[in-house]
Structure 1
């Protein structure tokens, strides 16, 4: 039986005396799945993503990713876990404006200790595959939103992570650029990449994933598998 890529077990997270941000959530994602976490603002989507990323810890329950008990890691080990295991795509790109496209993309590899020549070769391959190799020496501020998100995707894939996390990846894009990113995520999953997309956009979820998990008030209210509309 395939070991899960993500195994969240009875995870609860509170930030104050009010209702929990995440309430007894159990979720399993197997390698090769593309899963959308849906829900309105305040539903617990970002909290769940932060637990999986090792940026936060549950008050109770466990979080295991790729065989690692993420909730038990210290700060240094958690940073190493993210370098080895995760690629992360954000709504507002999180690129460094004073670095070129290539320099942004190779940054995770440098942090992981990859030799410079190998890192630049890998970055060149990714940028060519994503159709933005003509911008290797440009700075992010000179690119369109869709181009910047493609640079962010290249950066996320730099260390060949087993798990790709995308937080509202089309939220800051126009419709055409959003469609491009949706197609890119769908293609990555078709090639075997495990992806978890956090979004409030049902159309995005249906277009690039085959499973949707809906959160309301910190609890899972539905978990549905369906063929994507591509």
Structure 2
């Protein structure tokens, strides 16, 4: 059996005096899995993503990612953890418009201390494998939404993270570009990348992952593996 990449154990998180955003959630994701965390707005899926990414801490329970107790990290430790362990892809790309595509992709490696020549070689390989090498010298604003999301995926993979987190990765795309990104996520998982997609879109969850975890009112209500993946 493969090693767990994510282990949440009895995790709860409450904001202010309202109901829990996440309550007694336990989840294990193993290396090489593709999982969708699915739910409507307010279901707790963004809270779960933030806890996994070390952007927030639980009130109770433990969060372990690739052997790291994320819930025990301070601010500096959390930043180092994200650089080393997490690749994040966002709905609105979060690319820097004043940097070229190549420099956007290189940036995480530079922050991690990789030498420029080595980082550039790695970035060029990623852009080639993702089919956007011809845009290396362009600025993000000149690209289509689908192309910008491919740049964002390349950036997320730059430091070879054990976990790729995608937060509504097709939410800002037209249907054709969205299908293209879903296919890319499937291909990355087929190559061994552990992928977790956070979305409200059941069709996206079913198209690019093999397991769906349903959240309702902060609780996990279903955890289903697709028949083809059994």
Whole-angstrom distance in 1 between the partners of 2:228 and 2:88: 22
TM-score (norm 2): 0.98
Q: Which residue in 1 is equivalent to 2:40?
A: 40
Q: Which residue in 1 is equivalent to 2:10?
A: 10
Whole-angstrom distance in 1 between the partners of 2:218 and 2:2: 28
Deviation at 1:16?
Answer: 1.2
Deviation at 1:228?
Answer: 6.1
After superposing on structure 2, the runs of 4+ consecutive aligned residues of structure 1 that deviate more than 6 Å are none
Deviation at 1:175?
Answer: 0.6
Write the deviation string for residues 95-152 of structure 1: whole angstroms up to 9, x where unpaired. Answer: 0000000000000000001110010011111111111111111110111000000000
Note the 1:205-216 alignment, pairs <5 A: 205-216=205-216
3-state SS of paired residue (2:4): coil
Whether the 8 Å contact between 1:207 and 1:228 is mirrored in structure 2 is no
Q: Which residue in 1 is equivalent to 2:116?
A: 116
3-state SS of paired residue (1:5): strand
Q: Which residue in 1 is equivalent to 2:27?
A: 27
TM-score (norm 1): 0.98
Whole-angstrom distance in 2 between the partners of 1:228 and 1:174: 28
CA RMSD of aligned residues (A): 1.0
Q: Which residue in 1 is equivalent to 2:62?
A: 62
Whole-angstrom distance in 1 between the partners of 2:6 and 2:228: 21
Note the 1:76-91 alignment, pairs <5 A: 76-91=76-91
Whole-angstrom distance in 2 between the partners of 1:71 and 1:198: 20
Deviation at 1:18?
Answer: 1.3
Where structure 1 has 5 or more consecutive residues not aligned to the other structure, the ranges are none
Whole-angstrom distance in 2 between the partners of 1:227 and 1:205: 14
Deviation at 1:13?
Answer: 0.3
Q: Which residue in 2 is equivalent to 1:75?
A: 75
Whole-angstrom distance in 2 between the partners of 1:129 and 1:177: 17
Whole-angstrom distance in 2 between the partners of 1:119 and 1:154: 12
Deviation at 1:177?
Answer: 0.4
